[in-house]
């Protein structure tokens, strides 16, 4: 596969993410307009719930299709289940296509796996037919066994994707965590997506994650089953694609 084809494949996997603390509507509008002239579209825009309406209108004005995603139980993962369900319902009412929900990882670390499973099943039901990505916060899980267990719980709950990180803790995605998650996903009895997020800052790093995904799962990386969450790669990849055409 040529470099240009690899970059085109990669940009279609991106969840272009804007989760800046203390953000405001004016800054969000400026950021969205910076993306307007991009020749290639990301898989999704992932924004805080308060910016869903603004981002939905922007996407509707573009010629290329992108999904609209938001976060719930974010970033701490410790909200009560009924509050998270309310967050999901509000997000869907504002047009969200995809929900990225933080797994209650502290509950998992305390050994209460059944409680985590019940929470995830409830969130799955509240999402109805919309895409649910569950963030396990792999950097806070101290052993490979915990990463494995978290991934298994997400799969067993019926979620569509297992996602690595919020990007709000010191350790985001690592190759070790990705390999564990992908190995569990590959053994699942149904198609399960993988989203790498938290510190994916270079094209080389993103391409390595794609290589790992394809090697371990045996599947071609497509946005239906692989995503990469990043805030800066979209612009960089579009610039590289433009340079290869020059």
β-bridge mates for residue 167, sequence order: none
Q: Which residues belong to the active site?
A: 100, 163, 195
pLDDT confidence of residue 210: 97
User: ω into residue 75 within 30 of 0, thus cis?
Assistant: yes
Q: Domain coordinates of the chain in residue numbers? A: 3-7+40-245
pLDDT confidence of residue 139: 98
Intervals of the chain under pLDDT 50: none
**Cβ–Cβ < 8 Å for 177, 198:** no
Among the listed residues 56, 101, 57, 55, the one whose alpha carbon sits nearest the alpha carbon of residue 78: 101
188-213: b or e for each residue (b if 16 or more CB lie within 10 Å)? eeeebbbbbbbbbeebebbbebbebb
CA distance 88 to 94: 10
CATH code: domain 3-7+40-245 is 3.20.20.70
pLDDT confidence of residue 242: 83
**Cα 88 to the chain's mean position, in Å?**
16
pLDDT confidence of residue 1: 57
């Amino acid at each position: 596969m040529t470099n240009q084809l690899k970059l085109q494949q990669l940009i279609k996997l991106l969840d272009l993410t804007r989760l800046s603390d203390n953000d405001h509507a004016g800054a969000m509008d400026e950021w969205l307009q910076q993306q307007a002239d991009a020749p290639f579209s990301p898989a999704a825009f992932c924004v805080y719930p308060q910016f869903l309406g603004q981002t939905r209108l922007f996407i509707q004005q573009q010629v290329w299709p992108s999904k609209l995603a938001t976060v719930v139980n974010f970033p701490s993962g410790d909200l009560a289940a009924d509050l998270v369900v309310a967050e999901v319902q509000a997000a869907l009412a504002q047009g969200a296509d995809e929900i990225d929900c933080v797994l209650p990882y502290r509950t998992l670390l305390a050994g209460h796996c059944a409680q985590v499973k019940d929470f995830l099943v409830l969130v799955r039901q509240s999402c109805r037919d919309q895409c649910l990505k569950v963030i396990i916060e792999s950097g806070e899980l101290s052993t490979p066994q915990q990463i494995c267990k978290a991934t298994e719980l997400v799969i067993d709950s019926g979620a569509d994707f297992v996602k690595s990180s919020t990007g709000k803790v010191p350790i985001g995605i690592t190759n070790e965590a990705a390999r564990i998650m992908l190995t569990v996903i590959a053994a699942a009895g149904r198609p399960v997506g993988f989203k790498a997020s938290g510190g994916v800052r270079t094209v080389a790093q993103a391409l390595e994650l794609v290589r790992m995904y394809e090697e371990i799962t045996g599947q071609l990386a497509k946005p239906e089953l692989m995503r990469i969450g990043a805030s800066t790669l979209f612009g960089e990849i579009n610039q590289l694609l433009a340079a290869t055409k020059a």
